[in-house]
Chains A and B, each alone.
Chain A
Amino acid sequence: MILEVRDVKKNFGPLPVLQGVTFSVEKGEALTIIGVSGGGKSVLLKHLVGLLMPDAGEVLVGGVNIACLDERQLLPIRRRFGMLFQGAALFDSLNVEDNIAFILNRERRYSREEIDRRVEEVLDVVGLKGIQKKWPAELSGGMRKRVGLARAIIYQPEILLYDEPTTGLDPIAADAIDRLIIRVVQKLKVTSIAVTHDMRSARRIGNRILMLHEGRIYADQTPDEIFKSTDPVIYRFVNGIADPQEQLNYE
């Protein structure tokens, strides 16, 4: 088991966001976490990499509880993760090449030629060859996400986290990102955890789906089971149905 979350609770002020989340992830799994917007999916994802700390509960990465580590102790553990942020979170002050090679440059263990070669390799993987000298401001939303993914995979992490990878993209760009995620997971043989409310994407990129509802794991099933479910909460979410009473009134 590469990752385990045990009874994690998190409040923001008086607002409870996570109310006892428990699940585990096996090595090589492709997990998707779905749930309504504002339901705590991104908060949960940030707990996995130690960007947020739980008020109660444990997050075990390779058996180590990261909830009791400080920022510096977390740094080597974070090296095992790669994360693609919702808005890509590229560094504005660095060009594409320096963004992607950021961690390699910081580690000062690689020659310039080695870094250039690896940047070119990962840009090839994400289908963006030859844009090393461009600046983040010159890229489209889809390109930024691809560069963000290239930055996340250049140091060959064991676990890849995706925060809403297709949000804000047109259907074609979203499809391209989905295919890219599938390709990266297959090629690099990494464990992948994606948070999304895009059901088409959730079905394609995951072989297991967790549904987060009212701060707890409501369902833990395969994509087929989720899509065939008759449970009213799951059914409404999967089919995008708002409050049924409200809909009846409208009709």
Chain B
Amino acid sequence: MTSSAKQFAREWFGGVGRGTLLCRDLFYSIFKVKPVWHDVVYQMYFIGVKSSSVVCITGAFTGMVLCAQAYVEFHKIKMDTGVLALVSVGMVSQLGPVLTSLMVAGRVGAAIAAELGTMRVTEQIDALRTLATHPVDYLVVPRFLAMLLVMPLLTASSVCVGIFAGFLVGACLLSINPTYLWYNMLHYTDMNDVMTGMIKTFVFGAIIAVVACDKGLNCPQGAEGVGRATTEAVVYSSITILITNFFLTLVLNRVLV
């Protein structure tokens, strides 16, 4: 094993170990220490309301592109009215949760890592500890709970906007019969697809919160350290989401179908 591979392996296992310990503290805090709901609501506003425009724009253009591209192929086999069903199933079970999570990881994950990292390098986290407050109780739990509560709503709004945008493209630009478009979309979109998407959003939300908080709380000293923690929070949470999505898809297809 080369030294860089050893270094990577050490960092990776170190990260997994830290993440596990953070999860242990997190669940202990959620079940044994009462969460401060005022802080959770504030984080819901920051994560949810402030991210809604970004995820809706992402959903809208994804739905529109998917519809336009699917039309090219479906038109060849005379299945034009099925394009919105493809947009719907794709958005609900895969693209909606994944793209929403990636956008939230970029916007909120980075902000959480930067905020907690700055608190660490300016000794604010040490100050918190001397004030008899566990950093996980005050900083991690509200962000984690808010993320769990808000991610399904963000994904649902992204998916709805995406499907509606796809419908407009199909009906107005591509002149497909709107009644059949809508009917096929409802007919082919299963409750299982919706369940798959919703379960994924919970898991992805948890991943973003844990990775971003871990990177922030363990940020190296200095401005460079905060920058690195922020970048790593986005990169690691995005990669973890993509990898988890594959395995979750396999498992949920087996369990739910």
* Closest CB in chain A relative to B113 CB, distance in Å: 15
Chain B stretch 11-66: residues in CB contact (< 8 A) with chain A: 25, 28, 36
A89 contacts the other chain (CB 8 A): yes
Among listed B124-132, B182-190, B195-203, B233-241, interface-contacting one = B124-132
* Closest CB in chain A relative to B142 CB, distance in Å: 12
In the complex the two chains form, what is the Cα distance from A151 to B119 in whole Å?
Answer: 17
Do A75 and B134 touch (CB < 8 A)?
yes
Do B133 and A89 touch (CB < 8 A)?
no
A131 contacts the other chain (CB 8 A): no
Could you say which residues of chain A place their CB within 8 Å of the CB of B28?
Answer: 72
Could you say which residues of chain A place their CB within 8 Å of the CB of B25?
Answer: 71
In the complex the two chains form, what is the Cα distance from A227 to B116 in whole Å?
Answer: 43
Do A89 and B127 touch (CB < 8 A)?
yes
In the complex the two chains form, what is the Cα distance from A71 to B28 in whole Å?
Answer: 13
Q: Kindly report which residue of chain A lies nearest to residue B29, judged by CB atoms.
A: A72
A162 contacts the other chain (CB 8 A): no
Interface of A is mostly: mixed
In the complex the two chains form, what is the Cα distance from A89 to B79 in whole Å?
Answer: 64
Residue of A74, A79, A81, A89 with most chain B CB atoms under a 10 A cut-off? A89
Question: Do A49 and B130 form a contact, CB below 8 Å, given A89-B123, A89-B124?
Answer: yes
In the complex the two chains form, what is the Cα distance from A75 to B138 in whole Å?
Answer: 13
* Closest CB in chain B relative to A51 CB, distance in Å: 5
A85 contacts the other chain (CB 8 A): yes
Do A75 and B132 touch (CB < 8 A)?
yes
- Return the 3 tightest CB-CB contacts between A and B, nearest first: A89-B127, A89-B123, A83-B130
**Apart from the given pairs A50-B129, A71-B25, 14 other A-B contacts in the complex at a CB distance below 8 Å:** A71-B129, A71-B134, A75-B132, A76-B132, A78-B130, A82-B130, A83-B127, A83-B130, A89-B123, A89-B124, A89-B127, A90-B124, A103-B131, A151-B131
